[in-house]
Amino acid sequence: MKHDQSKRFLISVGGSLVVPEGGIDTDFVRRFHDCIVARVQDGYSFILVVGGGRTARNYIDAASKVHAIENDDQDWLGIHATRMNAHFLRTIFREWAHPRINTNPHDLEDFYQAKEPIIVAGGWRPGFSTDYIATVLAKYLDFKTIINLSNTDGVYEVDPRKDALAKRFDMLSWSAFRDLVGDTWSPGMSAPFDPVASKLAEEEGFSVVVLNGSDIGNLEQYFLGGNFVGTTIQ
C-alpha cells in the first residue's frame, strides 16, 4: 500500500511501545529517535502524542488493589503517565523539540509559535485518551491523516496475539472499525484506536493509519511514500 507523500506528520505513539511490560524499551526508543531525527534533518516536522503504556496500567492496577478507585482517578493516573512519557520523548529529542510539552489540545500557542520541528504532547483531562488528543490536534492544525503506532501490524478481525490465523485488514471503513471496537473508551483500554477518537475522526473525514511502531523500516517506508504494511481506516 502507498500514500501521498508529505513532510509533516502527526503521530499517536502507543505508550506500550515506549513502556511495555518490563520497563522502558530503550531499543525501540533509540531506533525511533534515529528514524525521526533522520527525517528532521531532511526537512520533515512532527507532532508526537504519546500514551501512558505499562506505567499507567501499573499505577491503576496497584491503586485498585489497595482501594476502589473512580474512573476519573484512573484517568488522572494515566494522564500523568502520558505526561512523563512526553517529557521523556522531549528529552531525547531535546536538540530538535520545542521545550514545552503540550497538555491541552485546545491551547495552540506552542504549535503556532514553535520554530522547532518536533512538538511533543501528553494527556489532557479525564475522559479523553491521547488518540483523542491527536484527533483534536489534527482538526485544529489541518492534518488529514493521523499515524497510529501500536504493537501490531495493523487492525485484525481478532487479537493476533491470541489467534495466529487472524486476518489483518489493509483498508477498513470507520463503521466497520467501530463495529470491532465499540463506541466507548475506558482508562487503560487496549484498542488499535480509541473508539471516542474514532467517532470524531470519522466526523472530520480523517484517515488513521495503524502501523507496528516496532518495525522502524516499515515506518520509514511510510514517511517516504513507499509500500508499507498496516491498516488505513477511513
pLDDT surpasses 90 at 76: yes
Is 3 among the domain residues? no
Q: What is the pLDDT of residues 195-204, one digit of tens each?
A: 999 999 999 9
Mean pLDDT of all residues in 125-146: 95
Instruction: Work out whether strand 207-212 and strand 231-233 pair parallel, antiparallel, or are unpaired.
Output: antiparallel
pLDDT, mean of residues 154-164: 86
Residue 61 lies in a domain: yes
Residue 134: phi, psi to the nearest 5?
Answer: -60, -40
Q: Regarding beta strands 171-172 and 231-233, do their DSSP bridges make them parallel or antiparallel, or are they unpaired?
A: parallel
Average pLDDT, integer, range 106-134: 95
Query: Could you tell me if residue 223 is inside a domain?
Result: yes
For CA atoms 103, 106, 107, 111, the dihedral sign is positive
**What integer pLDDT is reported at residue 160 of this predicted model?**
82
What confidence category does residue 183 fall into, taking pLDDT thresholds of 50, 70 and 90?
confident
Q: What is the pLDDT of residue 180?
A: 87
Any domain includes 1: no
Contact residues for 135 (Cβ-Cβ < 8 A; gap 6+) = 146, 197, 200, 201, 204, 206
Name the residue with higher pLDDT: 230 or 191.
230
Confidence of residue 5 (pLDDT cuts 50, 70, 90): low
189 or 151, which is more confident: 151
pLDDT at 184: 75
pTM of the model: 0.94
Q: How many domains does the chain have?
A: 1
Assess if residue 43 is contained within a domain.
yes
Please compute the mean of the pLDDT values over residues 174-179 and round it to a whole number: 91
Read off the pLDDT of residues 51-75 as tens digits, 9 standing for 90 and up.
Answer: 999 999 999 999 999 999 998 999 9
How large is the average pLDDT for residues 167-196? 84
At 190, is the pLDDT very low, low, confident or very high (cuts 50, 70, 90)?
A: low
Cα–Cα dist 203/164, whole Å: 33
The mean per-residue pLDDT over the stretch 217-224 comes to 96
Flag whether pLDDT at 191 surpasses 90: no
Whole-angstrom Cα distance, residue 185 to residue 182? 8
How many CA atoms are closer than 13 Å to the CA of 226, on its beta-carbon side?
Answer: 7
CATH of the domain at 197: 3.40.1160.10
Of 185, 182, 177, the residue nearest 210 (C-alpha): 177
Residue 159's pLDDT band (cuts 50, 70, 90):
confident
- Contact assessment for residue 230 and residue 212, using Cβ atoms and an 8 Å cutoff: yes
Range of 82's domain? Answer: 8-233
The rounded distance, in Å, linking the Cα atoms of 81 and 16 is 11
H helix intervals, the chain:
15-18, 26-40, 53-66, 71-92, 109-113, 130-141, 174-181, 195-204, 216-223
Q: How many CA atoms lie within 13 A of 156 on its CB side?
A: 15
Does residue 16 sit within a domain? yes
Give residue for cell 500557542: 109
**Is 152 a member of any domain?**
yes
* Phi-psi label, residue 63: left if phi above 0, alpha if psi -120 to 50, beta otherwise: alpha
d(CA 180, CA 168): 13
In a domain, residue 149? The reply is: yes
